[in-house]
């Protein structure tokens, strides 16, 4: 790849009808550049829709961020609303909010965490959530690919059946059930690990909880894709020519079976970070998910908007990255 051209060893993952040599490796063609530009514009449109829908739905719910304040007069409430611009017409608030995001990337101050900006709270939470999510995602991908490959190579044998039973069980169980079970057994009953996720040791159980579902899904995805690839004509041709089994499996079959996994990995990474809010609540992890849940219960408008925009942007970016990675795995894939 580093030489700028593919060699004769490049795997042919086509329909198996021929073994046509791949003429080139991925390059930034005008077609690819147009595709990336189109996806970026669609991403911006998606984020704008998320901002608009969240803003108006949030303001349509009865009540306000200062309604629950104890011993606060109507005059004090009016003063707070004037301070944060909540007394202005809704459309004016919307336009001002969009302008601040586009021109200054400013999500405003938190209405409940006095003296703190929303972006600062998000960045502080992401320090933990990103670490938690990345470890869980890569652990899930690594273990899932290995188990899926083993299951495919040992098809219908005891190992395959055991892996399928275990992964089916984990796919069926919600993360809050798994997290609660691990918390009670490992932390409370056995005392092996702390229940609080604010320490390094305390992140072990949240990582396991977050990784089990995607790991199980990737295992099943890899197994299915690997079985399909192993049945292709070019795999049988390689084996007939005496190509070593290790090269057939790792050089051809495994690489070509990873395309569905890559399809899933980008959204999965975003899902783990955005979907960690329940797990972060269970294990008291000081991450962005916990901040998001807290902002909803406190009616912290600016925090709700900031975290929603950030998490939506993360999902959009991860989907784009996963699409572009197809070209790395299989250079013949063409983007429309």
Listed ranges 52-56, 68-72, 193-197, 259-263; the one with the highest mean pLDDT: 52-56
Q: Is the pLDDT of residue 3 over 70?
A: no
| Mean of per-residue pLDDT scores for the chain | 78
> Do 317 and 12 contact (CB within 8 A), yes or no?
no
How much of the chain exceeds pLDDT 70, in percent?
Answer: 81
Residue 232 binned pLDDT confidence (cut-offs 50, 70, 90): confident
- Whether the pLDDT of residue 200 is over 70: the answer is yes
In tens, the pLDDT along 75-86 reads 777 777 777 777
- Residue 109: helix, strand or coil by DSSP? strand
Q: Which residue has the higher pLDDT, 205 or 285?
A: 205
Distance between CA atoms of 298 and 321, rounded to whole angstroms?
Answer: 34
**Backbone dihedral angles phi then psi of residue 73, each to the nearest 5 degrees:** -80, 170
Q: Give 67's DSSP letter.
A: T
pTM above 0.85, yes or no: no
Taking only the tens place, the pLDDT of each residue in 112-131 is 777 788 888 888 888 888 88
Nearest to 291 by CA among 60, 48, 128: 128
Burial 26-57 (b: 16+ CB within 10 A, else e): beeeeeeeebeeebeeebeeebeebbeebbee
pLDDT, tens only, 85-95 = 777 888 988 89
């Amino acid at each position: 790849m580093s030489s700028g051209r593919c060699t004769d060893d490049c795997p042919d993952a086509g329909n198996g009808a021929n073994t046509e040599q791949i003429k080139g490796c991925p390059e930034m063609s005008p077609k690819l550049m147009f595709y990336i530009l189109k996806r970026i514009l669609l991403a911006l449109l998606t984020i704008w829709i998320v901002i608009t829908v969240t803003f108006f739905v949030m303001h349509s719910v009865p009540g306000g961020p200062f309604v629950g304040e104890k011993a606060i007069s109507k005059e004090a409430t009016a003063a707070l609303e004037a301070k944060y611009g909540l007394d202005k017409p809704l459309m004016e608030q919307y336009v001002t909010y969009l302008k601040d995001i586009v021109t200054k990337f400013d999500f405003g101050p938190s209405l409940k965490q006095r003296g703190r900006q929303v972006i600062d709270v998000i960045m502080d939470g992401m320090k933990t959530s990103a670490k938690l999510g990345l470890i869980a995602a890569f652990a899930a991908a690594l273990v899932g690919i290995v188990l899926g490959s083993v299951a495919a190579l040992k098809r219908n044998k005891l190992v395959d059946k055991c892996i399928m039973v275990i992964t089916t069980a984990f796919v069926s169980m919600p993360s809050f059930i798994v997290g609660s079970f691990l918390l009670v057994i490992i932390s409370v009953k056995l005392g092996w690990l702390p229940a609080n996720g604010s320490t390094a040791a305390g992140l072990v159980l949240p990582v396991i909880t977050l990784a089990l579902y995607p790991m199980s899904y990737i295992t099943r995805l890899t197994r299915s894709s690997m079985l399909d690839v192993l049945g292709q004509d070019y795999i049988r041709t390689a084996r007939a020519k005496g190509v070593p089994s290790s090269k057939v499996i790792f050089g051809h079959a495994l690489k070509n079976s990873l395309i569905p996994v890559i399809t899933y990995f980008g959204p999965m990474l975003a899902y783990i970070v955005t979907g960690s809010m329940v797990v972060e609540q269970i294990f008291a992890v000081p991450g962005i998910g916990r901040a998001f849940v807290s902002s909803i219960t406190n009616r912290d408008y600016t925090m709700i908007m900031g975290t929603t925009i950030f998490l939506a942007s993360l999902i959009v970016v991860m989907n784009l990255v996963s699409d572009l990675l197809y070209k790395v795995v299989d250079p013949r894939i063409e983007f429309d």
